[in-house]
Amino acid sequence: MIEPSTIARFTSLLGPKGVVTDPEDIAPWTSDWRGRYHGAAAAILAPASTQEVAATVALAADFGVALVPQGGNTSMVGGATPPADGSALILSLRRMNAIRSLSADDNLAVCEAGVILSVLHDAAEGVGRRFPLSLGAKGSATIGGLVSTNAGGTQVLRHGTMRALVEGVEAVLPDGSIFDGLDALKKDNRGYDVKQLLIGAEGTLGIVTAAALRLVPAIAARAVGWVGVETPAEALALLRLVEARLGDSVEGFEVIADETLGFVLGHIPGTRSPIETRTPWHVLIEVDHNDMREPGPSERLESALADAFERGIAIDAAIAANEAQADAFWRIRESLSESEKAQGPALQYDISVPVARMPAFMIDAAQAAQAQFPGTTASSFGHLGDGNVHFHVRAPKGTSNGPAWIAAHGRAINAFVHDAVVAAGGSISAEHGIGQMKRAELGRLASPARISALRAIKAAFDPKGIMNPGKLIPLPEEA
Amino acid sequence: MIEPSTIARFTSLLGPKGVVTDPEDIAPWTSDWRGRYHGAAAAILAPASTQEVAATVALAADFGVALVPQGGNTSMVGGATPPADGSALILSLRRMNAIRSLSADDNLAVCEAGVILSVLHDAAEGVGRRFPLSLGAKGSATIGGLVSTNAGGTQVLRHGTMRALVEGVEAVLPDGSIFDGLDALKKDNRGYDVKQLLIGAEGTLGIVTAAALRLVPAIAARAVGWVGVETPAEALALLRLVEARLGDSVEGFEVIADETLGFVLGHIPGTRSPIETRTPWHVLIEVDHNDMREPGPSERLESALADAFERGIAIDAAIAANEAQADAFWRIRESLSESEKAQGPALQYDISVPVARMPAFMIDAAQAAQAQFPGTTASSFGHLGDGNVHFHVRAPKGTSNGPAWIAAHGRAINAFVHDAVVAAGGSISAEHGIGQMKRAELGRLASPARISALRAIKAAFDPKGIMNPGKLIPLPEEA
C-alpha cells in the first residue's frame, strides 16, 4: 500500500481537486464495468494539464509508484483496473477534457485525452464534419482510451481503426518528459514511428495527453440494406461485389447468422426481420455518400444487389425506405450482444483472421468447438470486411451457474478457440486489446520474436515498470 | 577491417553465390548514387531466403560484425552506404526477389525484399490491379528499401505512404530471430505495432525480408488538368475545392512556381506550358476513377474548375484532351529536378509542415532565405496536399564551383532552412529519411523526448549496434 505521505506529495503538486482519496469516490474506478476484475488504489490522481501530468509522472518515477491511466474505464479486457495489492495509483485524465481546436478546413480536431467520444461527435457535426469511429461505449469512452487501445468499431472497413485516424499524439513518457507529436504531418520520416507505438500501447509506455484526429465529410446521403445469403462465403462474395461496384462508399458490412437474428427477434420487442425469406446468413450493408450526386446510394446499392441476384449470391434483400427503417436495421445489429447474453452463459472472443479465410473459419471453428465441447453451441457475427468477428461459445442449454461453467471449462475453451485462430493466421485480439485478460494467452501463443520485441520496447520506455503494470506484457511465467 | 576468416564463415553458410568479395563487384555498392558518400566493405552478403538472412544475422551477431542492408541503393540521404572504415559488411537482399503471392481477390501482393518496384507494378497490372506508389527510382528501388524508408511519391494524397500500404512485414531481428508478421490482418491489437516500427526504421532495427502490400483497383479513367493561380494560398483553396467536389478521386496535386516551370521549358526540348496565360503559380491535378461511371473524371474536373473560376481561385486552366497530353503535363512535373539542376548548384530540402501552413511557408521561407544569403534564389515545388515540398536554395548566379559553395555555406543554409521548418511545426525529413545526411540536424532539432525514445528503441532491439550503424540515430555528440 502507498504511504499517506506519498499521497500528500501528489496533493501538494495537484491541489485538492487533483487528488481523490475518499474510498467511496474511488470505488467505482477500481473494478471494470463487466465486474470481472477488482483492484485497489489509495488515490485517483487527476491532473488538469499536460504539464501537471508530466510533473505527476516524474514524481511517481521518483517514488517508484506505479500509475494506472484511466479514461472512461470501459475496457473489455481489464486494461484499466489497478492491481489488487494497492501498489498503484489511478491516473485519471478526465479533467483534461478540452477540444483544443476543431477545423473543418483542415479536417482536424485536437482533443485532450479526457474528451468523451460522443462529445467529439457532436462538436464535429457542429462544423459540418464527422469523426468516423463509433462504438457502444461512446458516451463514456474517452479519446485517450480510444487512442491507447487502438479502438475499432463498425466503420473500420471504410475509415480504419484509431491508427488510421490519429494524425498526431502528445504524451508524457515514463521519465516525465513530454513527447510533442501533435503537429499533424502527413509525411514525416524522422525515424521510428513513436506515435504508432503509443497508439494501442494500453498505457504501458506513457500517458497519452492529447491527440490530433482526422475528420471526414458529413454524410450527405446513405442507404442501408439487408441481404439474405446461403453461407459466409457468399457474404464475402457479396462484399467483393459491392466493393467493386461502390468502391470506398461501403461504410458498413456486418454478417449475422440466422440463429443469432432469431435471438434478437425473440428478445427485443418490436424487432422484425427486414427480409421475408428465412436464409441461413444475413448481411447488413451501409453505403454512404458525402455529396448529393446522382445516382444516390440507394440507387447504386439497388443496382449492385440486382447484380448479386443475377449471380446467385443474394437470396433475398431489402433496402431501407427511410431513415426510420435504416435505424431499425441497425438496431438489430446493435442488439446482438444483449440478445445473445439473454440466451445464457457464454464465452466471447474478439478475434481476427485474414479476410479471405474468415468464411471457412466461421463455419469450421464453430463446428470444431461444438464437437470438442458437447452441448455447447458456437457462432460468430460481425465485421466480415475487416476479418474480425465476435466468436461466441454458449454453455449447454440449461446451464444455470454461468461462473461455475466458465470456471470449469473456460480455460480449455479459450485455448481451443485461440489455437484455431492462430492456425488460421489470425490474432487473438482484434480490437479489444490484451489488458490482463488475454495476457497469458498472448504469452502462450505469440512467437518468441514478437514477445521479445514487446518486452524490449517496454523495458526501453519504462525501465522502472511504473506504467500500467501487469497489462499487455506477458509475465515471466506466461511466456 | 573484417578478417578473411570471418568472411569465410559467411561463405560456408551462404555458399559462393551468397558472398561477393571481388572489389570490382563491390565498388558500385559502396557509394550512394549521388556520389556524396563513400564507404568500404570487404564483402557483400546475399542470402537467398529468410532462413539464410536469419542465419547470417545470427552469425554477424556472434562475431559482432555490423551489417548494412541494401536494396536498390537509391537512398537520398546516404542511408545504404557502409562506413568508410570497413567495419561493416553489406547485406544485399537482391537475391530474395520472388513475388510469393499476388491476389486480385484479396487485393494483396506478398513480395520479398528484393522485388523491384516496377516489377511489382507490372505484376499487379497483370491481374487488373495496381500498387499505388511510384517514384523516379522505380526501376531500381526494391520493396525492402521502400518499406524500410517509408517511401512516398506523387500518389500519397490518395493512397498514403508505405505505412498505409504495408499490411504485413516479415523481418529478421538483430538476434537472428524471425518476426513473422506477414499475415495481413486488418485488425490486430496484440500490443505494440512492431510492423510500423520496422517501416521507416532504415534497417537499424532489423532486416525486412518480405512484405504484404495492398493493391488497389486499376485506373479505369483519368483526367489530368493544369491550373494557373496567383499564390500558393490560392492553390490550397483549389485543393480544398476539388477535394470537396471530387472526394477521394484526387490522386495528384502538385504545385509549381512559374519560374520553375520556366526552367523546364528552357531545358527540356519539346515542352510547352499547358496554359496560355502566364501565372505566378501552377497546379497539376490528376483525378482518377476506378470505374467507367458517368460523369467521368474529365467532366467532373471541368465542373470543379468552373467553380474555381467563378470563385476567382483559378486564372487559367487546361484539361488534357488525351493520354498523350496528360503524359506531357506529367512530364513537366517529372523534369523539374533535372531542369533545376541545370540552373547550377543548389541545396535541396525534402521537408513537410502542416498543410494549412504550407502556403505561407513557401513564400516566407523563400524570402527569408534570400534575404539571409544574398544572391541566392529559393523556391519550392511539390506535394502541397501532403504538406510536403522540395525546397531548393540555388547558389548565386555565376557560381561555378558548386562543391566549394556548398562547403562554404551549406551548414548555415541547412540550419536556416531547418529552423524555419521547425518553427512552422514541420519535419526536416518528409519522405527521404534521415540516413547519415540529416542525422546531426535531427540531433540538433528534435525534442529530448523524441531523441531519447529513438535511442531507447534502438538499444532495445539492437544492443550490439550491428544494424546499419551510423544511420538515423544521432551520435552522442550530435544531441
Tell me the pLDDT tens digit for each residue of A163-186.
999 999 999 999 999 999 998 899
A22 and A67, same domain (yes or no): yes
Chain B residue with the nearest C-alpha to that of A175: B449
User: How close B439 comes to chain A (CA, Å)?
Assistant: 9
- Residue A54: which pLDDT band, with cuts at 50, 70 and 90? very high
Q: CB of A121 within 8 Å of any CB in chain B?
A: no
Q: Which residue of B has its CA nearest to A423?
A: B183
Q: What is the pLDDT of residue A293?
A: 79
Report whether pLDDT(B205) > 90. yes
Residues B112 and B151 in one domain: yes
Which of B102, B189, B248, B429 should be substituted to probe chain A, the one whose Cβ sees the most A Cβ atoms within 10 Å? Answer: B189
Q: Would the pLDDT of B105 be above 90?
A: no
Question: Between chains, do B149 and A191 touch, taking CB under 8 Å as contact?
Answer: no
Q: How confident is the model at residue B261 (pLDDT cuts 50, 70, 90)?
A: very high
A249 shares a domain with A169: no
* Cβ of residue B290 closer than 8 Å to a chain A Cβ: yes
Please list every residue in chain A whose beta carbon sits closer than 8 Å to the beta carbon of residue B356: 103, 105-106
End-of-domain residue from the set B304, B337, B370? B337
**CATH number of the domain encompassing residue A189:** 3.30.465.10
- Over residues B376-397, mean pLDDT: 95
Can you give the pLDDT at residue B136?
A: 86
Lowest mean pLDDT among A55-59, A330-334, B143-147: A330-334
Among B177, B180, B184, select the one facing A354 at the smallest CB separation.
Answer: B184
Range 415-444 of A in CB contact (< 8 A) with B: 425-434, 442
Which residues are within 8 A (CB) of B459 and not within 5 positions of it... i.e. 6 or more apart?
A: A460
Asked if residue A166 and residue A103 are part of one domain, the reply reads yes
Please check whether residues B239 and B176 belong to one and the same domain: no
Question: Number of CB pairs < 8 Å for A and B?
Answer: 231
Q: How far is A205 from chain B (nearest CA, A)?
A: 9
Could you read off the pLDDT of B420-455 as tens digits, one per residue? Answer: 999 999 999 999 999 999 999 999 999 999 999 999
> What confidence category does residue A308 fall into, taking pLDDT thresholds of 50, 70 and 90?
very high
pLDDT exceeds cutoff 90 at A1: no
User: pLDDT value at position A245?
Assistant: 87
* Predicted pLDDT of residue B188: 96
Same-domain pairing of B242 and B308: yes
B352:A290 CB<8 A: no
Assess whether pLDDT exceeds 90 at residue B479: no
Contact A450 B199 (CB under 8 A): no
Nearest-CA residue of chain A relative to B167? A354
Of the candidates A105, A106, A189, the beta carbon closest to that of B150 is on A189
Any domain includes B107: yes
Is residue A240 less than 8 Å (CB to CB) from chain B?
Answer: yes
Residue B20 is assigned to a structural domain of this protein: yes
Percent of chain B predicted with pLDDT > 90: 93
Mean pLDDT (whole number) for A199-219: 97
Please say if the pLDDT value at position A153 is more than 90: no
Rounded-to-integer distance, Cα A215 and Cα A121, Å: 10
Cβ–Cβ under 8 Å, residues B180 and B108: no
Same domain? B391 vs B467: no
Q: Which residue of B has its CA nearest to A248?
A: B248
Chain B, nearest residue to A218 by Cα? B244
Mean pLDDT of chain A: 96
**Shortest Cα distance, chain A CAs vs residue B318, angstroms:** 24
ipTM: 0.94
In angstroms, the CA A253 to CA A243 distance is 10
For residue range B149-166, what is the model confidence (pLDDT) as tens digits? Answer: 999 988 999 999 999 999
A222-246: pLDDT as tens digits: 999 999 999 999 999 999 999 888 8
B57 lies in the same domain as B157:
no
Identity of the residue in B179, B183, B431 whose CB atom sits nearest the CB atom of A425: B183
pLDDT of res. B247: 80
C-alpha cell read off for B288: 482518377
Name every chain A residue with its beta carbon within 8 A of the beta carbon of B291. 245, 247
Test the B interface: residue of A192, A350, A432 with most B CBs within 10 Å:
A192
> Does A430 reside within a domain?
no
Three-state SS across chain B?
CCCHHHHHHHHHHHCHHHEECCHHHHHHHCECCCCCCECCCCCEECCCCHHHHHHHHHHHHHHCCEEEEECCCCCCCCCCCCCCCCCEEEEECCCCCCEEEEECCCCEEEEECCCEHHHHHHHHHHCCEECCCCCCCCCCCEHHHHHHCCCCCCCHHHHCCHHHHEEEEEEECCCCCEEEECCCCCCCCCCCCHHHHHCCCCCCCCEEEEEEEECEECCCEEEEEEEEECCHHHHHHHHHHHHHHHHHHEEEEEEEEHHHHHHHHHHCCCCCCCCCCCCCEEEEEEEEECCCCCCCHHHHHHHHHHHHHHCCCCCEEEECCCHHHHHHHHHHHHCHHHHHHCCCCEEEEEEECCHHHHHHHHHHHHHHHHHHCCCCEEEEEEEHHHCEEEEEEECCCCCCCHHHHHHHHHHHHHHHHHHHHHHCCCECCCCCCCCCCCHHHHHHHCCHHHHHHHHHHHHHHCCCCCECCCCCCCCHHHC
Side-chain-side CA neighbours of residue A163 (13 Å): 24
**Is the confidence at residue B244, as pLDDT, over 90?**
no
User: What would the pLDDT profile of B245-256 be if each residue is shown by its tens digit?
Assistant: 888 799 999 999
B130 to chain A, closest Cα gap in Å: 14
Angstroms from B349 CA to nearest CA on chain A? 13
Q: Which of residues 15-74 of B touch A (CB under 8 A)?
A: none
Among chain A residues, the shortest Cα distance to B162 is held by A187
> What is the average pLDDT score of chain B?
96
Q: Report yes or no: A475 at the B interface, CB cutoff 8 Å.
A: no
Q: A178 in contact with B at a CB cutoff of 8 Å?
A: yes
Region A335-350 average pLDDT:
92
CB contact under 8 A, A192 and B432: no
Nearest chain A Cα distance for residue B472, angstroms: 6
Which grid coordinates are listed for B133? 506508389
CB–CB contact B200 A185 (8 Å): no
Q: Residue A326 pLDDT more than 90?
A: yes
Cβ contact (<8 Å) for A449 and B290?
no
Q: Among all residues of chain A, which has the CA nearest to that of B168?
A: A354
Does A13 have pLDDT greater than 90?
Answer: yes
* A356 close to B (CB below 8 A): yes
Residue B287 lies in a domain: yes
Q: Which of residues 297-336 of B touch A (CB under 8 A)?
A: none
Which residue range forms the structural domain that includes residue B105?
99-217
Which of A181, A197, A449 has the CB atom closest to B179's CB atom?
A: A449
Residue B472, chain A, CB below 8 Å: the answer is yes
Same domain, residue pair B418 and B446: no
Above 90 in pLDDT, residue A247?
Answer: no
pLDDT exceeds cutoff 90 at B291: no
| pLDDT score, position B293 | 79
B-contacting residues in A 363-382 (Cβ below 8 Å): none
**Is A131 contained in some domain?**
yes
Does residue A220 sit in helix, strand or coil?
coil
Given a cut of 90, is residue B318 above it in pLDDT? yes
pLDDT value at position B153? 87
Span A388-392, mean pLDDT? 95
- Please check the confidence at residue A74 and state whether its pLDDT lies above 90: yes
* A356–B430 CB contact, under 8 Å: no
Q: State residue B292's pLDDT score.
A: 79
Mutate which: A189, A249, A458, vs B, most B CBs within 10 A: A189
**Residue A10 belongs to domain with CATH number:** 3.30.43.10
- Provide the pLDDT for residue A126: 97
Condensed to tens digits (0 to 9), the pLDDT of residues A432-463 reads 999 999 999 999 999 999 999 999 999 999 99
What part of A 241-270 touches B (C-beta under 8 Å)? 244-245, 247-248
Residues A265 and A292 in one domain: yes
> Does residue A431 lie in a domain region?
no
**What would the mean pLDDT of B49-56 be, rounded to a whole number?**
98
Q: Do A197 and B201 touch (CB under 8 A)?
A: no
* Cβ within 8 Å, pair A452-B173: yes
Per-residue confidence (pLDDT) for residue B430, from 0 to 100: 96
How many domains is chain B partitioned into structurally? 5
Assigned domain for A432 exists:
no
Please check whether residue A434 lies inside any domain of the structure. no
Are residues B206 and B119 both part of a single domain?
yes
The residue of chain A with its CA nearest to that of B454 is A192
Chain A CA closest to residue B157: A186
Mean pLDDT of A280-286: 97
Same domain, A211 and A226: no
Nearest chain B CA: its distance from A432 CA (Å): 7
Last residue in a domain, options A92, A108, A139: A92
Where a domain ends, among A194, A217, A240?
Answer: A217
pLDDT of residue A304: 96
Which residues in chain A are closer than 8 Å to B197, comparing Cβ atoms?
192-193, 196-197, 457
Q: Looking at the partner chain, which of B189, B217, B385 has a beta carbon nearest the beta carbon of A149?
A: B189
Rounded to the nearest angstrom, the minimum Cα separation between B208 and chain A is 14
Question: What band does A8 get if pLDDT is binned at 50, 70 and 90?
Answer: very high
Q: Is the pLDDT of residue A123 over 90?
A: yes
C-alpha cell at B303: 465542373
CB contacts of B429 in chain A (<8 Å) are 188-190
CB within 8 A of B60, min separation 6: which ones? Answer: B66, B67, B89, B466
CATH code, B272? 3.30.70.2190
In chain A, whose CA is at the least distance from the CA of B461? A456
